[in-house]
Amino acid sequence: QYNSAPLGHLSPNNMEKLNRFYTIAFNHKRLPLKVVGKFHIDEDNQARVLTSLKEKLGLEELMFLSTCNRVEFFMVSKQAKTVEDILASGLFNLSEENALMAKSNAEIHFGKDAVRHLYKVTSSLDSMVIGEREIITQVRKSYEFAEATGLTGEFLRLLMMKNIMSAKRVFTETAIFRKPVSVVSIAFHKLK
């Protein structure tokens, strides 16, 4: 029911940008957390590093999300970028082994698939703990930072507005958050 909710009604210009929207995701499902952590950017350096990345890759818009188990780049660009492009920026220091692992195991999503992926992340359907509510705040704060830093534009603004509204609906209209599924929650219920 919620699958296409974040798309809403897009103008012809934003429909064109939808086809240039993609994500590169490094997460707990496909990579060891030590490799995911190599893409983390300290908050004090995020504005400088992300502005540099946007310029070096020639991106129209950029948003960066970093949590304890995922790092994701949400991008709008006329030319698709790859993990190799991110590594070639010189902003991330990975060993040859970790770089190869990142290239082989990154999740890459384009267009509508990228929107669905963002939606699943924000509504915690793609989380290590399905049903946890913290992710919606993390996504919102990541967008607000990117907007304040001048990394985003009209497309990501509209997409994030619809995305956050849709994720809130998931949390308020379903029971997903009442029984978060994780190793910790199972252990807690067993202990209890």
| Segment 49-58, tens digit of pLDDT | 999 999 999 9
What is the reported pLDDT for 122?
Answer: 85
| Segment 64-74, tens digit of pLDDT | 999 888 999 99
Mean pLDDT lowest for which of 6-20, 27-41, 42-56, 65-79? 6-20
> Out of 15, 33, 68, 184, which one is annotated catalytic?
68
Smallest CA-to-CA distance from 41 within 54, 60, 30 is with 54
pLDDT at 181 over 80: no
What is the reported pLDDT for 121?
Answer: 87
Calculated CA dihedral for residues 41, 47, 51, 53, nearest 10 degrees: 0
- 47 catalytic? Reply is no
Mean pLDDT computed over every residue of the chain? 83
Mean pLDDT lowest for which of 32-36, 57-61, 78-82, 183-187? 183-187
pLDDT at 42 over 80: yes
Which DSSP string do the residues of the chain spell out, in sequence order? --TTGGG----HHHHHHHTTEEEEEEETTTS-HHHHGGG---HHHHHHHHHHHHHHHT-SEEEEEE-SSEEEEEEE-SS---HHHHHHTT-S---HHHHHHHHHH-EEEEHHHHHHHHHHHHTTTTSSSBT-SHHHHHHHHHHHHHHHTT---HHHHHHHHHHHHHHHHHHHHSSTTTS-BSHHHHHHHHH-
What is the reported pLDDT for 141?
Answer: 95
